[in-house]
Structure 1
Amino acid sequence: MNELNTLFQPVGEYCRREVITCSADDPLVEAAAIMRTHGISGLVVCRAGVPAGMLTDRDLRNKAVAEGRNPRTLTVGDIMSSPLITVGEDTFLFEALHRLSRSGIHRLVVVDAAGRLAGIITDSDILRLQNSTPQHLILDIEEADDVETLKTLFEQVQKLVVQLLGAGVAVQDLVRNIAHLNDRILVRLVDLLLVEEFSDLSGRFAFLVLGSEGRGEQTLSTDQDNALVYADDLTLQERQRMVEFSQALISGILAVGIPSCPGGIMANNPLWRHSLSEWRVVLDEWFGTPVADNLLRIGMVADMRALQGDLQLEKALKEHILGRLAGDEIFLGHMTAKMLRFRVPLGWFGRIKTEKGEHRGKLDLKKAGIFTITEGVKILALSEGVSETGTAERIERLVRHKVLSRREADDLEATFHALVYFRLRTQVEAIREKRLPDNRIALDLLNRMEKGRLQVALEGVRSFQGVMERRYPLGQMV
């Protein structure tokens, strides 16, 4: 396997399935004897087959012997480390390694979909699988101590994407990890600000990413879309510090190399920085007036994801949005009408229609289909009260809600991934040629098979628009 592909494999393919376990109720001395017999430094502690904690040599040393406690009177549950950090079987090795480094631990317990013990994996297990991989970039991000270093690392992310696309990494995995790396850069930037300039800030705020960043679907041509929410009971002084923090944060993001949002959707803009109760009022105003700007704004916040801070604030905002939109056919109809204005560029006999003028012979992939899919899936998800933000995750939920059949979902995902692949490919080519990447692809650079694949994808978009027109006929009238 290509080394660059290794860390994009699921943990379940590489974890050790034979795990020595014990019960939380077992006498400590018996557990210690098991560790000695097997020559291991730790045991997974289970309750009814579900991992509940970890017992290690360090626990024995620090929590029993060093404290002068009698080991014969203790059970495993008295000193085990809990709660346990676990990963699912489908988690990428890439993400598992980051979890290990972030938590300062050396092993992760792997669980199945039901939360039961499936295996165990260590940092050494993962590192033995590869020599040169993206994990070094993650570690460098975690250790960065200034904005200039983060800027260099952001540039390296783009170079890494060029490598990975050439190595044949699946587009959905590649996009997921672009988002993951960008997330880590922004989280590190927030951490640096909180330590160096804003150590007085309480943790009662959340930095929210919106739009494609909130969905975890960034490619190489992206600007920033973000917002800030904070607790209602902050003092006037604390609120002023939040203003200063938001300004420093956006300045830092710009310095890293992520351009500003042309529409001003950034946390340093007062429109996108509120307390929780103020946000509810603002959202209700937007819901009450479904003009173009407010439709855009609601669409952005519906994709929100808290990158750093108090997750309860994000949860409260999401619940407010879902509570307002679930079953609101009128507002969802307005959102559908906005989406349907982007007609699929297919002419007679399925011929792809390209732009004229400055971009003659090119096709804007976002306007041609990506926007339709992300927005259409979002509308269907919001109507069902689905809280997930990623397009693929929303599609899976819609299958469970019987809004989409399995076949419709598979077709939609394949269409979406095909369009994103073409967008990523053209952006990678732009970077190689030292041009600014965008969403446009030149049709004359595609061979016949590629044009055929693009045409089929666009036909899939047009079919999905038909689904949305039938679902929300109001969208054709507003």
Structure 2
Amino acid sequence: MTQAAIISFLETVHPYDTLSKDDLAQVAGVFVRREFAAGEEIYHTGEALAGLFLVKRGSVEVLEPSGGLVSLLGPRNSFGERGLMRGGLAVTTTRATETTVTLMLPTAEFHRLIANSPAFARFFSRGRGAEARGPDLTTQKVADLMARKPVTLDPDSSIRTAAAKMRDHHVSSLGIVEDDVFLGIVTTRDMTNKVMAIGLDPSSPVGGIMTRDPVTLRPDDLGSDILHIMLERRIGHLPVVEGTRLVGMVTQTDLTRFQAVSSASLVRDAAMAETVGEMAGVTARIPALLAQLVGSKNPHEVVTRLITDIADTVTRRLLKLAEAELGPPPVPYLWLACGSQGRQEQTGVSDQDNCIMLDDAVTPDDMPYFAALAKFVSDGLDTVGYFYCPGDMMASNPQWCQPVRVWREYFRKWVAQPDPKAQMLASVMFDQRPIGGAVRLFHDLEGETLEMAARNSIFVAHMIANSLTHSPPLGLLRGFATIRSGEYKNHIDLKHSGVVPVADLGRVYALIGKLTAVNTRARLVAAEEAGVISTSGARDLIEAYDKIAEIRLENQARLIRSGRKPDNFMAPSDLSDFERSHLRDAFVVVRTMQSAIGQSRGARS
């Protein structure tokens, strides 16, 4: 690969995309290209590492010393950093699963970047290794391990009724409760040993076969308590109580499910799926993963990055399945994600925003192929849970499946004539991120568009005005402005009134500073480093964003653990006084930063 080709590739990979042009050129000049055959080992546990590896093409599996799969990596994924940060010896074994090309950054250059680039240091030291090693069950709170609300019955109900309820709810145990007081537990084993084995009349009261006053746990106990009790007493069900009230049930199945769910396993299963149905089975596990990651106290940017990685893998797999069905593409193309997937900020609730850029050599006769490919992938994404965009901002819309020359004209018109529709479209498209295909189609266009947009002060002013359309939900007298009617009355929208105002600000800062970062938090950090906003303003806004995004994810995890679908609406009353105060303070910071940039817009105009 030429140095120019390496630079072009690195500009699409975080955190290399945060480096200055000089640093990027230096880094590109020392990368070593290495190619591995399918099944070939790249390095082994305990081996001295020559540097940090970056996947250019192909796939790499990362294995524990015991041989267990840790993760499956694809293009733009790095590996080897844990060993480099821990004395230079590999802590895992890596192997190519297909013909794979890697770029290796020598150890000395890796440590130079860690020392001199805050973005580089943050990326390779925060949160990446812990999740890949798998969840630590022993340190989890019991409240985070409960899969659902407990199924209960009163003691006077018949055994037959109890059996039917267990069947209908697909559970292996019931809590026996009277007047909201927990009395005991009945399990499928009780049904076998105390009813079937002795021929007990099924119309007898279920209270007669329950285990009275069983050992229980509290929500703030640890996973280690569950393991110790289950092993010591040889039981498979543990009620969770607060005072005399039953609030949950933890079973051996819950523990198995917890240990089986990780982003690495979901990425692996999505990459190997042969049908859309198999992919739907993978994405159905995302809510459990989200609840687990939040319960493990991962930073919000780590959680959303890992959740988005699954969407990226599903999209790339659908592209491969589409090509297998339709044949090879007549000209090169690039599938890009926009919106939250583009920013790597997906949560448990996501629709799809995407588009296709085609090589300018495309002809009218080629377009039916790409229409079919776009429909295949968009339909597949909808089937597996990434629902159709309400505004039809999808590659299946012919408007968003066009040659590069048409895209260049789109951006030129939006910048030259920034009416409300143009502002909306530009806001979506400035969050583009390549997912699969010929990345080179995007490189020149990205730089040209950013430069052109930043130079046009009228367009920037309109984009600033557009960023102020979403306001934090601040009410009078230190309260919140909640939704006044409908299903979510007395709730606040943590998406449109919470994280979106910050995402809008981040996009504007990136535009003003000609910053290529797409992720909101990365944009805020880059804006501080580039002097687009003051150090104090940036740090306040980053802390505010962290608090809002954290509470949004915690609310989704709480809904998931209660057996409900996650959404973005939260009642302030669900928070403690302390949490409400800090959330309101975060909203005040966002409002203040909006006012500051609004005054800047007024001065320009």
Q: Determine the structure 2 residue equivalent to 1:396.
A: 525
1:242 maps to a residue whose letter is: F
- Contact 2:492/2:569 (<8 A) preserved: yes
**Alignment TM-score, normalising by the size of structure 1:** 0.74
- Contact 1:326/1:383 (<8 A) preserved: yes
Unmatched 5+ stretches in structure 2: 1-43, 55-75, 86-90, 115-128, 137-258
Summarize the Cα distance change of 1:355–1:41 in structure 2 as closer, same or farther, 3 Å threshold: closer
Equivalent of 1:226 in 354, 363, 372: 354
Summarize the Cα distance change of 1:393–1:414 in structure 2 as closer, same or farther, 3 Å threshold: same
C-alpha separation in 2, matches of 1:98 and 1:374:
38
C-alpha separation in 2, matches of 1:40 and 1:250:
41
Per the TM alignment, residue 379 of structure 1 is displaced from its structure 2 partner at its CA by 0.8
C-alpha separation in 2, matches of 1:317 and 1:185:
26
Once the two structures are superposed, the pairs formed by residues 146-185 of structure 1 within 5 Å of their partners are 146-185=275-314
Ranked by relative contact order (alpha carbons within 8 Å, sequence separation 6 or more), the top structure is: 1
Once the two structures are superposed, the pairs formed by residues 196-275 of structure 1 within 5 Å of their partners are 197-202=325-330, 204-275=332-403
Task: Choose 1 or 2 for highest CA Rg.
Answer: 2
| 2:420 corresponds to 1:292 | yes
Per the TM alignment, residue 432 of structure 1 is displaced from its structure 2 partner at its CA by 3.5
- Contact 1:415/1:461 (<8 A) preserved: yes
- Contact 1:203/1:310 (<8 A) preserved: no
C-alpha separation in 2, matches of 1:410 and 1:465:
15
Q: Determine the structure 1 residue equivalent to 2:444.
A: 316
Once the two structures are superposed, the pairs formed by residues 59-458 of structure 1 within 5 Å of their partners are 87=79, 89=81, 114-115=109-110, 132=260, 133-195=262-324, 197-202=325-330, 204-358=332-486, 359-458=488-587
Percent pairwise identity: 24
Summarize the Cα distance change of 1:127–1:373 in structure 2 as closer, same or farther, 3 Å threshold: closer
Determine helix, strand or coil for the equivalent of 1:438: coil
Determine helix, strand or coil for the equivalent of 1:461: helix
- Contact 1:183/1:307 (<8 A) preserved: yes
Query: Which of 244-253 and 259-268 deviates more?
Result: 244-253
Per the TM alignment, residue 161 of structure 1 is displaced from its structure 2 partner at its CA by 0.8
Summarize the Cα distance change of 1:474–1:321 in structure 2 as closer, same or farther, 3 Å threshold: farther
Per the TM alignment, residue 340 of structure 1 is displaced from its structure 2 partner at its CA by 1.6
Once the two structures are superposed, the pairs formed by residues 462-473 of structure 1 within 5 Å of their partners are 462-473=591-602
2:314 maps to a residue whose letter is: I
C-alpha separation in 2, matches of 1:177 and 1:97:
20
C-alpha separation in 2, matches of 1:183 and 1:85:
12
C-alpha separation in 2, matches of 1:283 and 1:354:
37
Determine helix, strand or coil for the equivalent of 1:346: coil
C-alpha separation in 1, matches of 2:50 and 2:311:
35
- Contact 2:290/2:347 (<8 A) preserved: no
Summarize the Cα distance change of 1:401–1:351 in structure 2 as closer, same or farther, 3 Å threshold: same
Unmatched 5+ stretches in structure 1: 1-38, 53-83
Q: For each residue in 1:14-64, what CA deviation from the matched residue of structure 2 results, as whole angstroms up to 9, or x when unmatched? A: xxxxxxxxxxxxxxxxxxxxxxxxx99977668xxx999xxxxxxxxxxxx
- Contact 1:373/1:464 (<8 A) preserved: no
Summarize the Cα distance change of 1:91–1:267 in structure 2 as closer, same or farther, 3 Å threshold: farther
1:114 maps to a residue whose letter is: E
Q: For each residue in 1:115-168, what CA deviation from the matched residue of structure 2 results, as whole angstroms up to 9, or x when unmatched? A: 36999xxx9xx7699875432222212211111010110111222111221222
C-alpha separation in 1, matches of 2:93 and 2:503:
28
2:406 maps to a residue whose letter is: E
1:402 maps to a residue whose letter is: G
Q: Determine the structure 2 residue equivalent to 1:22.
A: none
Determine helix, strand or coil for the equivalent of 2:349: coil
Q: How many residues of Structure 1 are paired with residues of Structure 2 in the alignment?
A: 399
Per the TM alignment, residue 98 of structure 1 is displaced from its structure 2 partner at its CA by 12
Summarize the Cα distance change of 1:465–1:312 in structure 2 as closer, same or farther, 3 Å threshold: same
Summarize the Cα distance change of 1:353–1:88 in structure 2 as closer, same or farther, 3 Å threshold: farther
C-alpha separation in 2, matches of 1:269 and 1:449:
47
Determine helix, strand or coil for the equivalent of 1:169: coil
Determine helix, strand or coil for the equivalent of 2:355: strand
**Alignment TM-score, normalising by the size of structure 2:** 0.59
Per the TM alignment, residue 274 of structure 1 is displaced from its structure 2 partner at its CA by 0.6
C-alpha separation in 2, matches of 1:470 and 1:174:
34
